[in-house]
A = this chain, B = another copy of it.
Amino acid sequence: MLKKTSTDIHTVKAPADYFTGNAWLDVLVRNENIVCNVAKVTFEPSARNHWHTHPGGQVLIATEGKGYVQKKGEPIQLLLPGDVVTILPGEEHWHGAAPDSLFTHIAIQIVTEKGDIAWLNAVTDEDYNSYK
């Protein structure tokens, strides 16, 4: 059993290779003895990650602000605190903040022999601005 408090958790900038705009990561769980990785992610307004898939799926729990999530081929959905999104293995999607709000979520990724994430292209402004 491993307990981490806030003094054990160190915020890092999300990698620019996979994000548009600034986002911040707190790694909460990354342990070879359990098959889920858990992080808290805070996106600055308009920031979002690239299109991607998770070989084992992902769960997002929105905790603060207003965010967006989009599955390929479907409209953007708004995320508010308390909303929970289950993304199934292989579903292409992205997530990030609304244009006028910081957005924080907890992200849980299932780790498989293919890893926990496969990055694809950046989200275009046209796609990002398509929320109605």
Supposing A57-B34, A61-B28, A88-B33 touch, asked if A1 and B74 sit within 8 A by C-beta, the answer is yes
Copies held by the complex: 2
- Total chain A interface residues with beta-carbon distance under 8 A: 38
Across the interface, A1 reaches (CB within 8 A) one of B28, B31, B34, B85, namely B85
Closest to A91 in B: B1
Taking beta carbons and an 8 Å cutoff, which residues of A are in contact with B? 1-6, 9, 28-29, 31, 33-36, 38, 56-57, 59, 61, 69, 71, 74, 77, 79-80, 82-89, 91, 93, 106, 108, 110
A87 to B2, CA, bound (A): 7
In the complex, which residues of chain B have a beta carbon less than 8 angstroms from the beta carbon of A91? 1
A3 to B71, CA, bound (A): 11
B34 touches A56 (CB 8 A): yes
